[in-house]
Every structure is written in structure tokens, then in C-alpha cells.
Amino acid sequence: MRRAAEWVAARLDFAGGRVVDTDGQPLVLGEWLGAPGAPTILVYGHYDVQPPGDESEWETPPFAPHVRDGRMYARGATDDKGPVFVALETARAFHAETGALPLNVRFLIEGEEEVGSPSLERFLAARRAELAADLVVSADGAMWRASEPSIAIAAKGLLALDLAVTGPSSDLHSGRHGGAVQNPNHALAELVASFHAADGSVAVAGFYDDVTELAAADRETLARVPFDEESYRTEVGVPALHGEPGYTTLERLWTRPTLEVNELRGGGAFTVIPRSAQAHITCRLVPGQQPEAVLGAIEAHVRGAAPHGVDVRVEVEPGAVPAYAIAADHPAVHAGVEALRAVYPAREPLLVRIGGTLPAAVLFERTLGLKTLLFSFSTSDENLHAPNEFFRLDRLEEGMAAWAALWQLLAAGS
């Protein structure tokens, strides 16, 4: 982690790039403030990545970058190293060509985004003066599709927790004790099944209480976004689409909250009743929902649904954040759209919403009072968090051109 941070800092040598310790992983700061009277932006990204998962599913080793078919394959290639590289190289190119940037730029590249940025809020609070700016521009995030330039104006919040079910004091022989004690695997399966109704909606009482319903105009806007449900079904490789009724697939992806069981653990492939079983659960939240309230609803549900004969605990992970949104008519959004038009003149940029979570955007607003423009050149189909993650190499040149245009537009007050 520190070597990665040091690499980023070295790319910011012209801006005093330096590795700074936090309560967790180090982050990188830098600043170029040689444009008096011009706005100041804070460029954000992250150098940490997800674990590779099952390496047998990778066509090439996840930490040995491989280029083929105009793509760079490696863990972290698109989340978030490629997009961060675009931002860094834009700054380096401006400085190399003119010895200056078109506006004042601060840099903050962190190392804990993939675990919810748990150290970032305290760091921001302690360094408010050092991070003063007018706007955050994030290299993190993702465009909707490679064929359609887009800016995300909303991202979902996140609540992550573990469900721990404990039964006997030790593993038991399933032949000697089967049928006489509650099996934690069985109890866990019953519990996780209780979280959803058969139609795909979340069955936890109170889960939807604070969800702000989409206005009719917003639903009409979403309906105009090109989206083919059958093509999507084929792309993700499922026999049928499934989810909360009463909403289109795109509405569910972008605007509805979810509760997903990400992992189930317990026992093994041998004749045992395990002592314990665990599930990892994440909820993606939408505007109006607060993580604390959703957690309370889940805890109440678990207390009511816990099977007899086992103990059940809900263990929340740090880093829970609400959803983030920026107004579609915000000046920074207008500037971002104009920058994309300059690079993609034949394609009108879309304003989209994403199902992923960007904790830093919430923390920048909460702690520094700054809105964040999500201006990433990652694309949502590039296997983020999955095997064979990749980044399209042509996005390097396109991204640098768009970042350069954005900075010039922001400097001019557009």
C-alpha cells in the first residue's frame, strides 16, 4: 500500500506530492496554487483495490498487468488506477507544456476507498484549511456505457454488516447429533431467506420507510435513457431478470435500495454440524435513507426471525454512508457536460445515476461543505470488483482531453 502511495506522490512531484499517514492506510496530498484569482479544485481518487478473488477465473494474473485488444487487464485497472492516472497525467501535461495549470488544484488520493474510507472523515476534519477548495472533482466512479459519455449525478449509500449464527459449543458429528440440535447453517439459510419476499422486494419492516419516491418527471427522464432489458439480461448472463416489482430494471438499478447477501460461510464438505455460520450483507441506500435507521430495521427483523436453538448477532462494519447526489443544473455538471461534448461531439452526454457507492463524496460534503463532480473515465462494464478487470486504453487520451477541457471551463467560470 505504501509503495503504491509513493508511486502516486512521485507523479505529483511538481505539486509537492507527499505521502501522509492517517489512522489507517496512507494517502497522498499535493497542491499547485499558482493561479491567483482562479477557482480551486480538489482532485480525488484512490489507489487501493479489491482482492482478486478466485485467481483461477482470471485469464492472466491479476497483479501482472496484461495488454490485449486495446485493454489493460489487471486488478484495479479501472477501479481506480486508470482514471486516477488520467487525472495525474492531465496535470503533468499542463505543467510540462506551460509550467502552469489553468486553475488551482489540490490532490487527495486515498488508500481506503474499497473499505468505506473509514479514516477519511477524521483526516478531512483535521486538515480543513489545508484542503480548502471550491469543488471536488472525482476520478472515481464510472460512466454508464463506453458508447455513451455520461456524468453520474447520484450514487447510492452503503451499509455493510455480518450476520453471525452460533449453535453448539463446538462442531458436532452430524451422524451422532443430527436431528437433535439446530444446525447453524439451516438457521442462517432461514434467516437470509426471510430478508426478501418471493417477488424480489425487501421484506424487512421499515426498510423502505424513508425512501423518496421518484417524481413523475424523473421517471420520464429515465425512460428516455436507451436501455434494452433483454440485452442487459444477456450481458450479465442470467436466465431471467428479477427484482422489486413496480419498477423498470433501470429504475431498480439506479434509484431503488437493495439488500444483498454477498457471502455465506459455515461448516465444510464433511459430516459435521458446524458450531457457527456467517453471512456478509450489504445494503445500497438511496436519498432519504440513513444507515442507522436501516440497521435498526434489520436488527429488529433478525430478532423477530431468529430460529430457536441458536444465538444470532448483527455486527455492523465501519464506513456506512448515505447516498450522494448533485443537482443536474449545478454549474460543475454543466461544465462536465460541455467538456464531454468537446471530446465526443457526435454523442450527447447523459446524466445518469450509479448503483455503486462513493463514500468520499458524502464525506467531502459533510466535512468540507464541498460538492463533488464525478468525472471518471472508468466504464461500468469493465469488470469492476470481478475477475478480468480491465481499462480501455483509448480512454487515456479521451480522458485527458476531457479533463483538460473541464479545467479550462471551470477556470473560465463556465
The per-residue pLDDT string of the chain (414 residues; one tens digit each, 9 = 90 and over) reads 999 999 999 999 999 999 999 999 999 999 999 999 999 999 999 999 999 999 999 999 999 999 999 999 999 999 999 999 999 999 999 999 999 999 999 999 999 999 889 999 999 999 999 999 999 999 999 998 888 999 999 999 999 999 999 999 999 999 999 999 999 999 999 999 999 999 999 999 999 999 988 889 889 988 988 899 999 999 889 999 999 999 999 999 999 999 999 999 999 999 999 999 999 999 999 999 999 999 999 999 999 999 999 999 999 998 899 999 999 999 999 999 999 999 999 999 999 998 888 999 999 999 999 999 999 999 989 999 999 999 999 999 999 999 999 999 999 985
How high is the pLDDT of residue 414? 56
Please tell me whether residues 336 and 272 are part of one structural domain. no
403 and 149 in contact (C-beta within 8 Å)? no
Q: Which long-range contacts (CB under 8 A, 24 or more apart) does 249-254 make?
A: 250/222, 250/225, 251/214, 251/219, 251/222, 253/355, 254/154, 254/222, 254/352, 254/353, 254/354, 254/355
pLDDT in tens, 96-125: 999 999 999 999 999 999 988 999 999 999
Is residue 250 situated within a structural domain?
no
Kindly provide the b/e burial profile for residues 125-134, where b requires at least 16 CB atoms within 10 angstroms of the residue's own CB.
eeeeeebebe
How high is the pLDDT of residue 215? 87
Please tell me whether residues 120 and 164 are part of one structural domain. no
Please tell me whether residues 49 and 120 are part of one structural domain. yes
Please tell me whether residues 309 and 175 are part of one structural domain. yes
Please tell me whether residues 52 and 100 are part of one structural domain. yes
Domain with 108, as residue range(s), is 2-155+323-411
CATH number at residue 194: 3.30.70.360
Is residue 231 situated within a structural domain?
no
Residues sharing a CB contact under 8 Å with residue 190, sequence separation 6 or more, in sequence order: 305, 307
Task: Name the phi and psi angles at 151, rounded to 5.
Answer: -125, 130
- CA gap 404, 91 in Å, rounded: 8
Please tell me whether residues 92 and 206 are part of one structural domain. no
Q: For residue 248, which of 278, 272, 227 has the smallest C-alpha distance?
A: 227
Q: For residue 211, which of 292, 281, 290 has the smallest C-alpha distance?
A: 290
How high is the pLDDT of residue 94? 97
How high is the pLDDT of residue 105? 98
Please tell me whether residues 269 and 361 are part of one structural domain. no
Please tell me whether residues 346 and 284 are part of one structural domain. no
Is residue 274 situated within a structural domain?
yes
For strands 135-138 and 157-166, give the pairing: unpaired
Please tell me whether residues 145 and 174 are part of one structural domain. no
pTM of this prediction? Answer: 0.87
- CA gap 285, 364 in Å, rounded: 18
pLDDT in tens, 204-230: 999 999 998 888 988 998 898 889 999
How high is the pLDDT of residue 319? 81
207 and 257 in contact (C-beta within 8 Å)? yes
Please tell me whether residues 184 and 265 are part of one structural domain. yes
181 and 309 in contact (C-beta within 8 Å)? yes
How high is the pLDDT of residue 144? 86
Helix 82-98 and helix 394-411, axial crossing angle in degrees, nearest 10: 60
Q: How many domains does the chain have?
A: 2
Please tell me whether residues 136 and 203 are part of one structural domain. no
- CA gap 314, 164 in Å, rounded: 6
Please tell me whether residues 91 and 194 are part of one structural domain. no
